[in-house]
Amino acid sequence: MVTKTNPQDFSKYERARILGARALQISMDAPLLIKIEDEELEGLSYDPLKIAEKELDSGLLPITVKRPMPQKKEKPLEKLRIEKEKKEEKEKKEEEKKKEFEAKEEDERAKKKEQTEEKEIAEEGEIMEILEDDDEDLSEREGGEASAETE
């Protein structure tokens, strides 16, 4: 943790917090930490905020700011490399699962579409015969013989 006491080192937020806290103390009749003459107090209009600012600028306020700093972590490079590789492998597995899922969904959609089309064809009265491999060989032979005969 870093402790700051120099007024120039404070951020504007820290400065505002310090001035507000000290001005509240002064308004609650806390003793002033610097000697200010009556004429100067009249010039400041007895404003606790202005008095607190004058005290802060003089460097006499017993208020410090503690800033938490990030902790230093030392890890061997080998551990960092292994962690990175594990993370990459995990991402690849997730991506593969996603692709498989999408492929399954696409197959299901295609099957549903095919079934729908078959139902529509059956309802319209168009019936198509499904040929098996043996039937295709026979039709090719017959077609081949017929073309040879025509020549």
pLDDT tens column, 37-92? 888 888 888 889 989 988 888 888 887 778 887 777 766 667 777 888 899 999 99
Global pTM? Answer: 0.42
**What CATH number matches the domain at 2-67, 3.90.940.10, 1.10.357.10, 3.40.50.1000, 3.40.50.1980?**
3.90.940.10
Question: Is residue 20 pLDDT above 90, yes or no?
Answer: yes
Distance between CA 48 and CA 32 in Å, rounded?
Answer: 10
Please, where in the chain does CATH 3.90.940.10 lie?
2-67
Q: How would you label 23-53 residue by residue, b for 16+ Cβ within 10 Å and e otherwise?
A: bebbeeeeeebeeeeeeeeeeeeeebebbbb
Of residues 110 and 151, the one with the higher pLDDT is 110
